[in-house]
Amino acid sequence: MSAPPMTMPAPANAARAEPGHRLTPAPADLLGEYAAWLAERGRGNRCFATAAAAFLRRWPDVQSFAAKQLDVMLAADQHTRPFITFLLLHDLLRPGYDYLAERKFAALVDLARRTRLEEDLHGFIQAATELGFSAHVRSRAAERVLARLLIQTGHRLHELTVSDLQELEAAFRARAERRGRDWSNDRGFLHAAWTVLFHLGVVPVTPPNRRRADHTDHAHHFGGVPAWLAGRLQDYATALTGTHAPSTVDGIAIRLAHFGRHLAVIDPDLDCLAGIERQRHIETYLAAVATARTLRGGQPISAGEQRSRIITLGRFLADITEWGWPDAPPRRLIFSRDIPKLPRPLARATGLRVGELRDLELDCVHEIPDTGAWLKVPLGKLATERMVPLDDDTLALIDRIAQTRSPTRPLPHPKTARPTEFLLTHLGKRVSAAALREELARAAETAGLPKTTPHQLRHTWATALINSGCSLQALMVMLGHTSAAMSLRYARLFDATVRADYERALTQVKAQLGSPANPGKPPTMLPITDITSTSSSWTDAPLLKSRLAGGYCLRTAAQGSCAYAHICEHCPNFRTDATFLPVLAAQRADTAALLADAEARGWGEEAARHQRLLERLDQHMAHTEVS
């Protein structure tokens, strides 16, 4: 599905005109034009005419006004400013972006009617409307940004360049610095105008991220790091730029900076990487990471972040040793046992990751003969591309998103720079991961649920499929979970077995939880806490459970009770003695707990099985105690 073409005010391939001033008419003629312009708008009086005549006597060459100091130009009184505005709109004066950034104009878009600016301003506002910008943003972007660009350059809209935008941006920044204020409003309008110009094909690059300052290196991450170490970390980050994505290098720099600040505290006299010691520097850092807290909120950092900090440091030390840096530590300092274990290592391998969701393309749905609709998941965290089967409800949702998304010019892919039509767009940009998380949290709050993350949704969905009988092999194919052994065996894309497993499991999930397509049946809330918790006992898992002498057995509800469960305890040949009483007692306690759990879940057959075992264990224990 392609986005509808956007309205272009002027041909993008037209020859660029050289900016030139309109020849200034004789003073009498110019004053006559000015009077007619004022009369058309129902404005003006003798004071306006007198001020205009005085301006021309002082600056007969009106462009010489632009050579004056900014404060002199801004000192023009209320009767003179309308004449200056008239000169600007009729290509008789280009005062510079500093003046245009400081000057306030009342209804500049309206004042530009019947001038060469009118057509371009109208086309710009129409394109901004198609992209979904609000009336306020599109009118302010047209007035505050585009009109000033057209006035100062003397060009048509299709002739504007990135350099023009950057010059106006510099003027906005300078204005904010002079006033000691922030320039967030101007930055927002500039960003919106740049976005519209990109989608019109006027400029070839998307606007810079307005929430992040542009930096040519990673030195800004190393605040608080000793200067000698900051230099070496910068060298390392620079060496990685050829093989790593910019965001990855940013993450590495940020995590290494944590170690640098740790060294500054515990050993301020250290001045060389070769002097780093295991006990004094590394082990104290490992302890610091284990208790580290986030800057916002003061919450403990996640186990994943702990691992990332330690792995990044270990990789840095290993790399500089392999590269032969003369100041590399003489021996290995980070070991695999230093890396904390994740509480749920498989959780990250379930469902669409946020990055994969953002990277979905407009044509991500593929209809395969005899196998239905499939979702093409692009290269993600593990650099794997896969196909996931789709049910009718999900397919309808994707169609609805495609119909309501913001129409955009193809955006450069963040990994390949290939022009790409993404599925999730808003105001001419890709929807950010932060926006997706915020919307999910808001939806959870509205539904009266605890704060929910995309990871929990992926994990919940995968667990629901498993609990409904989907095989692990099919789930690995659908969700892109790879390992050295499994990835080669199960990485087939259009597998009929995968489709059959998916549809059978999904039917059971919908029967248990309800479906958006069946509003008559109220949906049952998935046990997100049970599924995502890392502290629950195995006896609390939402599965069929059996206590064994050497461990325990877990089965999904779809598999039913095991025909071999506790077969030995019921066998006539089973024998026990007093030495096994503690084992039997522990098994009996667990069986009683499992019986209560099965009854609470409404699993009648499973409860009856536990009841039979409970009675059999009582018989064995009573017989053993008597003998």
Distance CA 157, CA 179 (A): 30
Count other Cβ atoms within 10 Å, centred on residue 407: 17
Helix (H, G, I), strand (E, B) or coil at 545: strand
Annotation says 332 is catalytic? no
Q: How far is CA 461 from the centre of its chain?
A: 21
How much of the chain, in percent, has pLDDT values that exceed 70? Answer: 77
Instruction: Please report the DSSP string for 384-401 in residue order.
Output: --EEEE--HHHHHHHHHH
Q: Residues 144, 218, 221, 458: which is the catalytic one?
A: 458
List the one residue out of 95, 131, 92 whose CA is nearest residue 115.
92
Mark whether 353 is an active-site residue.
yes
Q: In sequence order, what are the residues at sequence separation of 6 or more whose Cβ sits closer than 8 angstroms to the Cβ of residue 583?
A: 549
Question: Rounded to an integer, what is the distance from CA 469 to the centroid of its chain?
Answer: 33
Q: Let me know if 458 is a catalytic residue.
A: yes
Q: How many DSSP H helices and E strands does the chain contain?
A: 26, 9
The single residue of 97, 236, 490, 502 carrying the catalytic annotation is 490
Is residue 564 annotated as a catalytic residue, yes or no? no
One-letter amino acid for residue 118 of the chain: E
In the residue annotation, 490 being an active-site residue is answered as yes
Question: pLDDT (tens digit, 9 = 90+) per residue, 219-252?
Answer: 778 888 999 999 999 999 999 988 888 878 888 9
* Strands in 184-247 per DSSP E: none
Catalytic residue, candidates 381, 415, 492, 575: 381
DSSP 549: T
Q: Which helix (H) or strand (E) holds 82?
A: helix 81-89
Place of tokens 């264990």: 617
pLDDT confidence of residue 282 = 95
Q: Report the pLDDT value the prediction gives residue 22, as an integer from 0 to 100.
A: 65
140, 221, 232, 455: the active-site residue: 455
pLDDT at 344: 38
pLDDT at residue 171, rounded to an integer: 94
Q: Which residues is 412 bridged to in the sheet?
A: 419
Instruction: Match 């274990």 to its residue by tokens.
Output: 341
Closest CA to 430 of 519, 506, 355, 513: 355
Whether 218 is a known active-site residue: answer no
pLDDT at 258: 94
d(Cα 87, Cα 93) in Å, to the nearest integer? 5
> For position 349, what pLDDT does the model report?
28
Positions in the chain short of pLDDT 70 = 1-22, 209-217, 342-352, 379-385, 455, 458-506, 508-537, 549-550, 556-560, 563, 627
CA distance 180 to 325: 46
Please tell me the distance from the alpha carbon of residue 557 to that of residue 511, in angstroms, as a whole number: 14
State the catalytic residue, choosing from 155, 353, 566, 610: 353
What letter does residue 5 receive in the DSSP assignment? P
Please classify residue 293 by burial: count the beta carbons closer than 10 Å to its beta carbon, then call 0-12 exposed, 13-18 middle and 19+ buried: exposed
Written as six digits, the tokens of 499 are 């489709």
